[in-house]
A and B are shown apart, each in its own frame.
Chain A
Amino acid sequence: MRSLIIRNGRVLDPSNGIDEITTVYIEDGVIKQVGGQCAVAGAEDIDATGLLVCPGFIDIHTHLREPGREDKETIHTGTRAAAAGGFTSVCAIPNTEPVIDSQTGLKFVLARAESDAIVNVFPYGAVTKGQAGEEIVEFGDLVYYGARGFTDDGHPVMNAEIMRRALEYSAMFNVPVLDHCEDANLASGGVMHEGDVSNRLGLKGIPALAESIQVSRDADLAALTGGHIHIMHVSKKESLEAIRRAKASGVRLTAEVTPHHLTLTDEALADYSTYAKVNPPLGTAEDRAALLAALLDGTIDCIATDHAPHTDIEKDQPITDAPFGSIGLETAFPVLYTKLVLTGRMSLEFLVHKMTAAPAAIVHLDPRGSLSHGAPADMTLIDLNKEFEVTPDFFLSKSRNSCFLGERLRGSVETTICGGRVVYHQRKVLRPQA
């Protein structure tokens, strides 16, 4: 029996319309009741006075790097970083070495998660074998063994015919195909967003339409096939019109946006900072404003981190040689809370929804992401007033390549509970009994 009572916290559960100071009762790893009185045998008490108590965050875009690049991150370290950021479920991107494109690979990730992870790991499979963009994988077999979606993120599917077949075939299994939308030819050799800043810096730009052309293509293919297309990390205003059109005509299309695209611009590269080199590249202030508006009006469905660990060795190179990507699990909530909630751009309830139930729905993880009766007891306790600085030694991730280094943020994750067990509490990892 894993029983727990969390008292006196501000319980915020957007899917059930709850926002009040009350008690959460957990029995045998699931939510038994929120509010009122309830008898729970042998329960441990947690006093959450002054803390926000909400469903654990769900990241549908996490690079855990294992197998293959254990120098950057592992399932062990990546799930600790997740817990420290308040995430209780992460979906692992399959662009590992080898690529997760078969039952064997998928079982390896699940076995590692079983032995090493402290939060839930839901793996994706690749769309094509070896992410080579030529032959589709065994969707049926992979779904049977637990794949929650399919993506060639890292090596996007350029061939529209292959993408058509992938969407058509995956529709049978009711799983999304998640696409990193980038036309490889238009983006070739690019380092950052093509615009005034890239021109001034003499860096080769990636034009906005490298993304928007592929978003339009994917929307049309989803319309044709009835498949579920999920647009990963939308970053440019030009992409939003295609998303709006598709949604208005009933296409099964969902979209995510990252904390860094919502809060930073291409000016972050003005001193050639490799930590701000991400893909898709940071856009202009206009893009940033359009993305926020699109999240607020429902054009974009949820927030995802695109947590992309890289070593210092790789990031300490000339900017054209350094890899794309920023870690994001441990800063996602505090960044968005500080820069968007505290500035009045969105409500706390809206933010929590976009990090919990909204992403859960896309990859069919519900009732995770809510505190509904019977849902797995995945929860996060946050001190909204606690301020901290993002320093290199702040991270539990194996890597430190954060585009938010040096920021002072508010909203500190104090406790993370996964399956009714406290797995993280005040900078300490608590390894649950297997």
Chain B
Amino acid sequence: MKSKDESPAAPPSSPPVQFNRRHLLGLEELSAEEITCILDNAESMKSIFTRTVKKVPTLRGRMVCNLFFENSTRTRTSFELAAKRLSADVVNFNIATSSVAKGESLLDTARTIQAMHVDIVVIRHSCPGTPHLLSRRLNMSVINAGDGAHEHPTQGLLDTFTMREKKGRIKGLKVAIVGDILHSRVARSNIWALTKLGARVALVGPSTLVPRQFEKLGCEIHHNLKEGIAGADVINLLRIQLERQRKNLFPSIREYRLLYGLNRDRLRYAKPDVLVMHPGPVNRGVEISQDVADGPHSVINEQVTNGIAVRMAVLYLLSGNAGTAPATE
């Protein structure tokens, strides 16, 4: 699987039959087989850009547009690099200076991009369901790069990819996700991928941010960090946002750190070979201590590397179906 071969054209010449979607809107609707297919493809992709010549011509002549309505550096850059390594052309639609600032509607912005013959649009928006709206109304492939608190499928895939790469499997792993689960698209995408692939998922955080409803998604709920991470193979920490404190969902950053901050002492409750993950950007000294973030268990930087591989795989798999079916509009 992990090819060290330096020969070109590592990806297969045509997308495999088990993946024939036009859009990646979320992981909820994907089967375990489809998720595995993306992860397998990502392995081949990773072998491409970890060698000297980091580029293949697979998507030459294709146009990818990054349409980000929320600030993002790492995800947007990751998609851009992924597309470029597949030889696609990439444009970044800068919202702050675009006609959106002049009151243009979302659909009009998207129609404009479509009229420029873009094949794949990568969208991030604060409102859940916005990628779904575009996928229904436009004739482009749509990749969800984060829609509000709903999903961030490529993050869920890269987290799962990293776990599988390090642990050799997903089935049977205990994964603790710690933090603001309620408002987290990263958590939801992780939950879907991990439960479908057979991991045990424990959600950890204050009762205001980890409501009981998540039990319905097949997760364990813990409000005590030590209990939640006990025996964990993986701890995935989420960024805690100060904005939530203003809405009285927790009383202070200080108390959050006291109750849920991961430090070296607390790490001992997990398995000795536990992986520590974080989607970034990291609040050092809040959800994670400096020594753990930089310590031997941390794979935070490898997650960034793997993000490119996963996004290459997604772009590649969707491009086989980009712009082929008629739009409903």
Contacts and interface: CB of A to CB of B under 8 A. Distances in A.
Given A203-B129, A318-B129, 5 more contacts: A200-B217, A202-B148, A316-B107, A318-B130, A319-B128
Interface stretch (B10-18, B208-216, B273-281): B208-216
Contacts, number: 54
B128 A203 contact: yes
Contact of B105 (A200, A272, A313): A313
A202 B128 contact: yes
A204 B151 CA distance: 14
A125 to B, nearest CB: 35
Contact of A202 (B105, B185, B211): B185
Nearest to A314: B105
Interface of B: 28, 105-107, 125-130, 132-133, 147-151, 185, 188, 211, 213-214, 216-217
Contacts of B107: 316
Which of B107, B129, B133, B214 gathers most chain A CB within 10 Å?
B129
A195 B211 CA distance: 10
B185 A318 contact: no
Contact of B148 (A199, A316, A320): A320
Contacts of B130: 318
B289 to A, nearest CB: 29
Interface in A52-72: none
A295 B185 CA distance: 40
B213 A195 contact: yes
Contacts of B28: 200
B216 A196 contact: yes
Interface string A12-41: 000000000000000000000000000000
Contacts of A204: 149
6 nearest CB pairs, A to B: A272-B129, A202-B150, A318-B127, A202-B149, A199-B213, A202-B128
Interface residues of A, number: 17
9 contacts: A196-B213, A199-B217, A201-B128, A201-B150, A272-B129, A318-B106, A318-B133, A319-B133, A320-B126
A185 to B, nearest CB: 11
A156 B129 CA distance: 29
Contact of A321 (B127, B147, B216): B127
B319 to A, nearest CB: 25
A200 B26 CA distance: 11
SS of A interface (majority): loop
Interface string A260-279: 00000000000110000000
Contacts of A313: 105
Given A202-B147, A202-B149, A271-B132, A320 B127 contact: yes
A201 B217 contact: no
Contacts of A319: 127-129, 133
A352 to B, nearest CB: 38
Interface in A182-237: 195-196, 199-204
A317 interface: yes
A271 B150 CA distance: 12
A339 B283 CA distance: 53
Contacts of B150: 201-203
A200 B149 CA distance: 9
A84 B125 CA distance: 40
Interface in A294-333: 313, 316-321
A317 B137 CA distance: 12
B88 to A, nearest CB: 27
B148 to A, nearest CB: 5
A317 B106 CA distance: 7
A202 B216 contact: no
A313 B150 CA distance: 24
Given A195-B213, A196-B213, A320-B148, A201 B105 contact: no
B136 to A, nearest CB: 8
B128 A199 contact: no
Given A317-B106, A319-B127, A202 B132 contact: no
Contacts of A200: 28, 188, 217
A195 B216 CA distance: 11
Contacts of A271: 129, 132
Contact of B214 (A195, A199, A201, A320): A199
Contacts of B126: 320
Contacts of B211: 199
Contacts of A199: 211, 213-214, 216-217
